Structure 1
Amino acid sequence: MTPRIDLFGIITDDLAASAAFYRRLGLDIPEGAEKEPHVEILLPGGQRLAWDTVDTIRTFLPDWTPSQGGHRLGLAFLCDGPAEVDALWTELTQAGYTGEKAPWDAFWGQRYAIVKDPDGNPVDLFAPLPQVESPS
């Protein structure tokens, strides 16, 4: 059998805060799940996304410490269009989440923005930019 990606995991200091953030991005995290030490949901396409508290991780890795000096993993959410990127950015930053990069039109043809989840993980918001017809 060939291994295949099945689960993406997030280690969080505050499961309730992380769940609230990702619910704002449309993930269906059951109410009350944030009271558990481990939560996972099934994503469209069959992969799973999971959250574990730091305390849960330390039950099997007692010396675990978070990475320092930058991130190694990010999540990206495809939006319905450039206006939704802007609206989500505004909603999240006005709700108190840290904006790393305000929405901009990226040279690779997408409206793009980066906001940090409660644990400092970058979360990208993006949508394709409308195609501009060149004059003939």
Structure 2
Amino acid sequence: MAPTFNAIGLAVADMAASLSFYRRLGLPFPAGAEDEPHVEVTVSGGIRLMWDTHASLRSFDPDYEPGPPSGGWAFRCADAAEVEKLHADLVATGYPSAQEPWDAPWGQRYAQVRDPDGNVVDLFAQLTSPQ
């Protein structure tokens, strides 16, 4: 049997801060999850998103050291207005903008913000039918 892609993880310095950010993007975490060293949520398609604190990762890898932020996740919005509103709301709450909203040449309204660990998170909505 071939392996099946099932989950992707994110290492975080502060679980509560990270979950607060991702709750604003609509991810449903149970009450009290911010006090856990490992948290998962299953999204459409059955893929699990996992958060682990740096301390949790060190519990089984004592040499673990977080690297610089890289990559991130992308969230599809209903339309361009939602991209604008969500970007503005996140920035007003104190999350840094990585890119103000713009019309990308690939036919999407796009914006980028940084999560509490500095990872870039994309917000996008389709402007035209994909080719």
Where in structure 2 are there 5+ consecutive unaligned residues?
none
Identity percentage of aligned residues? 53
Aligned partners of 1:46 and 1:103: how far apart in 2?
A: 30
Aligned partner of 1:66 in structure 2 is 66
Q: Which residue identity is paired with 2:91?
A: T
Gaps in structure 1 of 5+ consecutive residues: 132-136
Q: Deviations over 1:85-126 (max 9, x none)?
A: 000000000000011001000111100001010001110000
For residue 82 of structure 2, what is the aligned residue in structure 1?
84
1:17-53 deviation digits (Å, cap 9, x = unpaired): 0000000000001111010110111111101011000
Alignment match, 1:115:
113
Runs (4+) of structure 1 exceeding 6 A deviation are none
Which residue identity is paired with 2:62?
A: P
Are 2:83 and 1:104 equivalent residues in the alignment? no
* Alpha-carbon separation, structure 2, partners of 1:120 and 1:110: 23
- Please name the residue that 2:33 is paired with: 33
SS across alignment from 1:64: coil
Secondary structure in structure 2 of the residue aligned to 1:34:
helix
Q: Which residue of 2 aligns with 1:134?
A: none
- Single out whichever of 104-113 and 58-67 deviates more from structure 2: 58-67
Could you tell me how far 1:129 is from its partner in structure 2?
1.0
Q: Distance in 2 between matches of 1:117 and 1:5?
A: 24
Measured on the aligned residues, the alpha-carbon RMSD in Å equals 1.1
- Larger-Rg structure: 1
Distance (Å, rounded) in 1 between the aligned partners of 2:58 and 2:76: 33
User: 2:15 & 2:78 partners in 1: Cα distance?
Assistant: 27
SS class of match (2:90): helix
Find the residue that maps to 2:58 and give its secondary structure: helix
- Name the residue aligned to 1:14: 14
